[in-house]
Amino acid sequence: MTAEKIILDGNLVAADIKGKLVDRINRLSEKGIVPCLATILVGEDPSSATYVRMKGNACKRLGIQSIRVDLPENTSTDELIAAINKLNADPNVHGILLQHPVPNQIDERAAFEAISIEKDVDGVTTLGFAQNAFGFADFPSCTPAAIIAILDYYNIPIEGKHAVVIGRSPILGKPVSAMLLNRNATVTTCHSKTTHLEDVVRLGDIIVAAVGKPKFVQGDWIKPGATVLDAGYNEGNIGDVDYDACLEDASAITPVPAGVGPVTIATLLKHTVEAAEKLSLHVNDGILFIKE
């Protein structure tokens, strides 16, 4: 291992993002506006409940209001969409997050599409995806945005680099590929049908692992000097990258935990504050006017 190796500490990046939100939240407060994130949880999946609780606690610590909507396991698609529409119509709610996955009987994509674009702070709608692809999304998907934030915080060049993204989900692999491309990287997006995957990964200056398989990316796949960003989180606090093995050749790497995860949550909070700023036009004579 060399002295130039950098452990990309997500807690530091998250603290920087949240620290920059304090004054913005205070300015909104002076206008009588409290940024508000509504989180919807369908069913009682323990992991999902933990994630929702973590997001709620993060909101509370920063002075963002958090509303939790719990729906039973047997909720239908129509019932879920009705709950989303109620939040869409509430001028005091600035961001809506539907915790996924949802139970099998629900059309998850239809539920995501019901979220107003102005409140889609998690970047899950197709309109938000399209805006991100064109490079002007207000709220790109939080984990891809977190990955870019980490690269920027540590001044890791993107332009001109070859980025290899392993994974093509519509809220992680595809949007982060678009964001890297928009930053002038050359991007290869890999997936389960990619042949000779390890040979493709070895070409990458920047590697993004987002496959949901523990220790999937092996150490001998990493080109010496590459930057490795592990967006996976598997049972036992294990990422998608074999961390110890990949550390040998990587110049910079995110750990799991304390890597991409904390920055993803901080990005969600940032988007919620930005949504409050955009939706809240002004306060005049004590009356808050909200853009419909």
Would you please indicate which residues are annotated as catalytic (active-site) residues? Answer: 55, 99, 122
Q: Which residues pair with 280 in a beta bridge?
A: 290
Q: Say how many residues make up the chain.
A: 292
Close Cβ partners of 104 (under 8 Å, ≥ 6 residues apart): none
Interatomic CA distance for residues 269 and 271, integer angstroms: 5
- Order of all β-strands in the sheet with 95-98: 65-71, 36-42, 95-98
DSSP annotation of 40: E
- How crowded is the C-beta side of 4, counted as CA atoms within 13 Å? 8
- Long-range (24+ apart) CB contacts under 8 A made by 253-256 are 253/5, 253/6, 253/7, 253/8, 253/227, 253/228, 253/229, 254/7, 254/8, 254/10, 254/150, 254/228, 254/229, 254/230, 255/7, 255/8, 255/9, 255/10, 255/230, 256/230, 256/232
